Chains A and B, each alone.
Chain A
Amino acid sequence: MNAIEFKQLSLAYGHRGIFQNFTASIHSGEFVAILGANGAGKSTLLRSILGLIAPSSGGISVFGQAVHKGAAFIGYMPQIRQNISNSLSAYAWLTANLNGYQWGLPVLNAKQTEEIQRVVQLVKAEKIINRPYSLLSGGERQRLLLAQALLNKPKILLLDEPLMNLDPYYQATLVGLIDDIRLQYGITILFTSHDINPLLTSVDRVLYLANGKAVIGLVNEIINSKKLSELYGLDIQVIQHEQQLFVINKELGFHHHVNHCRPDLDHFSV
């Protein structure tokens, strides 16, 4: 069964169109990387699957149902927030996320306490769970954001830039952890990122957003010189070297870190 279906979907953020007329299916248990430059609409696409943003036209269905806010089978990991001012512990923060949509006091019963322990173990956060959430490092906080997304055993995980501000070691650790969880529970994963390289060993397909278009396919079908040149309308070369993808724009020459020179290509930073 398809986990997510986009039917002639057009999305806009305010008055700015993101893409138009996109039709595709995401299979159950699939790991899909959503790539695109800053402002391409990766987060907007996730928010539309959550029912937080209405499509301009077309529709999205999740396990056959039209999207709506509060779908219990979707776990969502938002982008990491700065400026956490309170000193609540990571445990308190996590408990506030468990069934936080229900009325009443924020008190856990035995079953809910077990659920907290389950996700803490799943993301291997036992050592940090009693520390103040605001004092955790970016990598540790990403781990807890993932833990909250896994509460109540979702069937779909929407992960918004989970690799942001992480060094290559933590990126690889987090991707490995997410992939292990996917295989263990058969969860469908949509994962936005600027950089495909840390995901290459785990990802099944790539959903690529650029220039008002959305395309989906296998990594080598999408991330190649011809396809990217078509999408961007620029002369772009993709070179594979030691299982890493490098992007060269002929107008600008080779760039070790593309992000510095071409913001619209920064998802290929190396």
Chain B
Amino acid sequence: MSTIVDPTLIISLFEYHFLRNALIAGTIAAILAGFVGYFMVIRRLAFAGHALGHIGFAGATGAGLVGLTPVTGQLILTILAAIGMGSLGHRMSKSDIAIGIILALALGLGVLFLHFYTSYAAQAMTILFGNLLGVSAHLIKMMLIYSVLSLLGLSFIARPLLFASLEPELAEAKGVSLPLISILFMVIVAVAVTEASQVVGVLLVFTLLIGPAAAALNWTHGILSGLFLTVLFGILIVWLGIILAFITDWPIPFWISALAAINYFLSFLGKINQ
């Protein structure tokens, strides 16, 4: 127990280059995932986000066949799928079966692409479960650029997005284009899913996107306070997850998903007080 609370061990965490990179990449992903995830929870798109992660798996494994890097392939296929899903508009949250079948198909395609391009087999685990400790400076730079662009895009559409999410019929009556808002938002979700999967992998992308937002919405009823709390939860979960993984030598995705789950279930205390 004394080892767990040894402050020198925590301080030494920052001396390792790869751990510093992990903290930076994790923070970038947590911020974007937090802002995007908040709107996903309000729009009831948790399952769609989860499915996008799996579709990204097919993109990442298929990238090798056409000479792209896994992240590029993942990003391209996720964005294409997001545009398709976004065009469903508000019907998306009611299309669980179709999205589920596409999710399974994407995993199957991912396995097929691995079969054809066996040199990517070793990377399959990385894509599925993330590899935060292997994040390069170049990837951090790319994550930062995509995050800034996505957040700028999100801040541009935030007002009609919120309106369309809460009252689609009213928003449409007031001249908001529901399909346009839906597609623009899903493209931003695709970038967030790709980023979050670098931290926790495509299988656990749900953790970083939905967990903090779902918890925050149980604690607070305001929009800005909810967004702030979501991002704060996301960052704390990632940092604590990395620190606990460093101390215990257990995988980072396990700690992040466990902390997100604990945080979510604790948030029901906030709901009980309402």
Residues of chain B from 147 to 166 with CB closer than 8 A to chain A in the complex: 155-160, 162-164, 166
* In the complex, B41 has a CB within 8 A of chain A: yes
B221 engages A105 (CB within 8 Å): no
Is B173 an interface residue, CB under 8 A from the partner? Answer: yes
**Are the C-beta atoms of A69 and B224 separated by less than 8 Å?**
no
Annotate A73-90 by CB proximity to B: 1 below 8 A, 0 otherwise: 010101000000111110
Q: Is A172 an interface residue (CB 8 A)?
A: no
B163:A101 contact, CB within 8 angstroms: yes
Q: Which residue of A lies closest to B93 (CB)?
A: A85
**CB-CB nearest in chain A for B157:** A103
Contact (Cβ within 8 A) B223 A95: yes
| A132: contacting residue among B41, B171, B221, CB under 8 A | B221
Q: State whether the Cβ of B6 lies closer than 8 Å to any Cβ in chain A.
A: no
A92: which B residues are within 8 A, CB to CB?
Answer: 221-223
Q: Which among B41, B167, B172, B173 has the greatest number of chain A C-beta atoms within 10 A?
A: B173
Q: Given A52-B172, A69-B172 in contact, is the A89-B221 Cβ separation under 8 Å?
A: yes
Q: Is the CB of A100 within 8 A of B274?
A: no
Bound CA–CA A104/B159 (angstroms): 6
Q: How far is the CA of A148 from the CA of B172 in the complex (A)?
A: 14
What count of chain A residues pass the 8 Å CB interface test? 33
Within 8 A of B (CB), among A93-122: 93, 95-97, 99-107
**Would B170 and A148 count as touching, CB distance under 8 A?**
yes
Say yes or no: is A135 at the interface (Cβ < 8 Å to chain B).
yes
Q: Give chain A residues whose Cβ lies under 8 Å from the Cβ of B125.
A: none
Within 8 A of A (CB), among B36-94: 41-42, 44
Do the beta carbons of B163 and A100 come within 8 Å of each other?
Answer: yes
Residue interface bits B155-198, CB-to-A below 8 A is 1, else 0:
11111101110110111111110000000000000000000000
Closest chain B residue to A72, Cβ basis: B174
For A101, what are the chain B residues with a Cβ–Cβ distance below 8 Å?
Answer: 160, 163, 171, 174-176
A103 touches B156 (CB 8 A): yes
Cα–Cα, bound, A50→B44 (Å): 27
Whether A52 pairs with B173 at a CB distance below 8 angstroms is yes
Most buried by A among B171, B174, B226: B174
Indicate whether A70 reaches chain B with its CB closer than 8 angstroms.
Answer: yes
Shortest A127–chain B CB gap in Å is 15
Which residues of chain B from 92 to 138 have any CB-CB distance to chain A below 8 Å in the complex? Answer: none
> In the bound complex, how far is the Cα of B160 from the Cα of A101, in angstroms?
5
In whole angstroms, how far apart are the Cα atoms of A210 and B162 in the complex?
38
B141 at the interface (CB under 8 A from A): no
**Interchain CB contact under 8 A, B175 and A70:** yes
A105 near B155 (CB under 8 angstroms)? Answer: yes
Compute how far the CA of A50 lies from the CA of B171 in the bound complex, rounded to whole angstroms. 11
| Complex contacts, B158 vs chain A, CB 8 Å | 104-106
- Asked whether A104 lies within 8 Å of B156 as measured between CB atoms, the reply is yes
Q: A78–B223 Cα gap in the complex (Å)?
A: 23
- Determine how close the nearest CB of chain A comes to the CB of B159; give it in whole angstroms: 5
Cβ of B176 and Cβ of A135 under 8 Å apart? no
With A86-B41, A86-B217 already in contact, the answer to whether A100 and B160 are too (CB < 8 A) is yes
Which residues does chain B contribute within 8 Å of A148, judged by CB atoms? 167, 170
B-chain residues with CB within 8 Å of residue A97 when the two chains form the complex: 163, 166-167, 170
A135 touches B274 (CB 8 A): yes
B174 and A106 within 8 A (CB): no
The reply to whether A103 and B160 form a contact with Cβ atoms under 8 Å apart is yes
The answer to whether A87 and B271 touch across the interface, beta carbons within 8 angstroms, is: yes
Q: Who on chain B is nearest to A132 by CB? A: B221
Most chain A beta carbons < 10 A, residue from B158, B169, B170, B176? B170
B274 touches A132 (CB 8 A): yes
Task: Given A50-B173, A52-B172, verify A88-B223 contact (CB < 8 Å).
Answer: yes
Residues of A within 8 Å of B173, CB to CB, are 47, 50-52, 69-70, 74, 76
17 A-B pairs with CB atoms under 8 Å apart are A47-B173, A50-B173, A69-B173, A78-B169, A86-B41, A86-B217, A87-B218, A88-B42, A89-B222, A91-B222, A92-B221, A97-B166, A100-B163, A100-B167, A100-B174, A103-B160, A148-B170
Q: Which 6 A-B pairs have the closest CB atoms?
A: A70-B175, A100-B163, A89-B221, A101-B174, A50-B173, A96-B162
Residues on A lying within 8 angstroms of B by beta carbon are 47, 50-52, 69-70, 74, 76, 78, 85-89, 91-93, 95-97, 99-107, 130, 132, 135, 148
> Which B residues are within 8 Å of any A CB, using their own CB?
41-42, 44, 155-160, 162-164, 166-167, 169-176, 217-218, 221-224, 226, 271, 274
